[in-house]
Amino acid sequence: MRHVAVVGSGPAGYYTAEAAQKRFGDAVRIDIIDRLPVPYGLIRFGVAPDHQSIKGVSRRYEQVALSDNVRFVGNLEIGRDVSIAELADCYDAVVLATGAPVDRPLAVPGSDLPGVIGSAAFVGWYNGHPDWAALAPPLGGPGAVIIGNGNVALDVARILAKTPDELAASDICAHALAALEAATITRITILGRRGPHQIAMTPKELGELGTLTRAAPVVDPADLPPPDADAALDPGQRKSVQHLRDFAAAARAGQPIEILFDFFASPVAIEGDGRAERVIVEETRLDDQGRASGTGRRHAVAAGLVVSCIGYQTPPLAGVPYDQGRGRFENEDGRILPGLYCVGWARRGPSGTIGTNRPDGQAVADRIAAEVPGGSGRPGRTGLDRLIAARGLDVVTFRDWQRIEAAEAARARAGAPREKFVSIPELIAAARADDDPRLIPPASPAIGAHLASGAARPPGPVGE
Ligand code: NAP
């Protein structure tokens, strides 16, 4: 028997559990631990609320969660409630799948002014992350600036620009929908420090900007390289650049909001009287390697809201070697220390799609097979349960999560899949609500109801 703890229940965590299950069959017990009382990490809190088809992958993770040898332990923070050393004492292998939920800092003067918000916070706000639900971003317009030319910048621009009708079938939280309905932003400027050929936007997501009801993307034709130059791009990037060319050629159809692409524009300061009022931008030029340098020419872009979408980092964890420069755990192909591994964004940094995390899970399962012999005598989940009981921690099981999920579906506005609870107390209350047989799916035999009842040991062989 191998006992494996996976810290983090987003895509990388579940792909790891799935791969370990395939690799070891009945000879493994996997606990997926999350600091929040809900699973799925990025799927719930990062993926845009109007991209429901992407969120559908959580059904696959649910299959993993419901299998006998996998257990979800939510509302348990490693590093606060239980240390990494204690976890390592309990399990044969610990896999950190903690993602990259922290904004890379925007290192310009004025970035601490009210109204300047990182994308983790802004996306967390509209997606109902308990850390960010109370954010109240200033949406009083008319100007907003989004810094960065990646897909997160596109998500933020699209959510700011969509009408309430366009968001109706999404799972955007009621507080964000109401705030956006009252917003008066009419000019969203997306700042790219490099040019159209250097964008990190994928074609499908960029193309969506051209389909919005009340907003039009605007590109200055003078920013586009000669069309022949696109031949050197890979096919996906060529498609993205073609969208920019189409935006540049399109006539405005009277939409009241413009989404303006300001290329070769590097933010150098944010100014305002006690709050963000404008972004000072230095125009750039590119060298033949595609690197940007400042020209000394500056312009100001008026904005009461500045959302910095320049990438994320993994928070450090006491006792785990950390690569400050790259903002992720120090690791060699996913191995941090003997018995301690990392996967996903915590391993590679914040890049790629959700599916990119799958091979990481397979690779770490292979490493555990090669490097971590079973039968070590470590207690696995029984040991964790002892710590939980001794500390009186109120953890959430997968069955509890199913109660939360059913309650969120039951209170959704018409046409929406769910209305999320956005605070830990609300989530815990929903988890502890009496079972309503009409709402609650059948319980998995694997779920440790003993945790909810406070018993120190799991019933039966599941925890052995
Ligand atoms: P990203 O793709 O790495 O893009 C970050 C952007 O920020 C780049 O354009 C970068 O420009 C710019 N940037 C970095 N530092 C900057 C600075 N100091 N000043 C100005 N600009 C700066 O990151 P992301 O948008 O956060 O996305 C993270 C990952 O999630 C990506 O893999 C993305 O594709 C994925 N994602 C996918 C979807 C989807 O598929 N629907 C949605 C959201 C996110 P340079 O190139 O010049 O460094």
pLDDT tens-place string over residues 134-165: 999 999 989 999 999 999 999 999 999 999 99
238-242, 274-278, 297-301, 437-441: lowest mean pLDDT where?
437-441
Q: Which two tokens stand for residue 74?
A: 């939510």
The chain-wide mean pLDDT, for the chain, equals: 92
With a cut of 90, say whether residue 12 has pLDDT above it: yes
Place 297 in a pLDDT band, splitting at 50, 70 and 90: very high
Question: Nearest C-alpha to atom 21 of ligand 1 is from which residue?
Answer: 148
How confident is the model over 110-119, as pLDDT tens digits? Answer: 999 999 999 9
CA of 149 from ligand 1 middle (Å) equals 6
Ligand 1 atom closest to Cα of residue 48 = 42
Ligand 1 atom closest to Cα of residue 104 = 15
pLDDT score recorded for residue 374: 80
User: Does residue 350 have its Cβ closer than 6 Å to ligand 1?
Assistant: yes
Question: Nearest C-alpha to atom 9 of ligand 1 is from which residue?
Answer: 149
Question: Nearest C-alpha to atom 26 of ligand 1 is from which residue?
Answer: 311
pLDDT score recorded for residue 436: 54
CA of 141 from ligand 1 middle (Å) equals 24
User: Does residue 149 have its Cβ closer than 6 Å to ligand 1?
Assistant: yes
With a cut of 60, say whether residue 449 has pLDDT above it: no
Quote the CA–CA distance of 155 and 355 in Å, as a whole number.
Answer: 19
* HEC assignment per residue over the chain: CEEEEEECCCHHHHHHHHHHHHHHHHHEEEEEECCCCCCCCHHHHCCCCCCHHHHCCHHHHHHHHCCCCEEEEECCCECCCECHHHHHHHCCEEEECCCCCEECCCCCCCCCCCCEEEHHHHHHHHCCCCCCCCCCCCCCCCEEEEECCEHHHHHHHHHHHCCHHHHCCCCCCHHHHHHHHCCCCCEEEEECCCCHHHCECCHHHHHHHHHCCCEEEEECHHHCCCHHHHHHCCHHHHHHHHHHHHHHHCCCCCCCEEEEEECCEEEEEEECCCCCCEEEEEEEEECCCCCEEEEEEEEEEECCEEEECCCEECCCCCCCCEECCCCEECCECCEEECCEEECCHHHHCCCCCHHHHHHHHHHHHHHHHHHCCCCCCCCCHHHHHHHHHHHCCCCECHHHHHHHHHHHHHCCCCCCCCCCCCCHHHHHHHHHCCCCCCCCCCCCCCCCHHHHHCCCCCCHHHHC
CA of 264 from ligand 1 middle (Å) equals 16
pLDDT score recorded for residue 463: 24
User: Does residue 155 have its Cβ closer than 6 Å to ligand 1?
Assistant: yes
User: Does residue 309 have its Cβ closer than 6 Å to ligand 1?
Assistant: yes
With a cut of 70, say whether residue 440 has pLDDT above it: no
Question: Average of pLDDT values for 195-211?
Answer: 98
User: Does residue 148 have its Cβ closer than 6 Å to ligand 1?
Assistant: yes
Record the pTM: 0.93
Place of tokens 């791969």: 19
Ligand 1 atom closest to Cα of residue 106 = 18
CA of 199 from ligand 1 middle (Å) equals 8
User: Does residue 207 have its Cβ closer than 6 Å to ligand 1?
Assistant: no
Question: Nearest C-alpha to atom 39 of ligand 1 is from which residue?
Answer: 151
Higher pLDDT, 30 or 253: 30
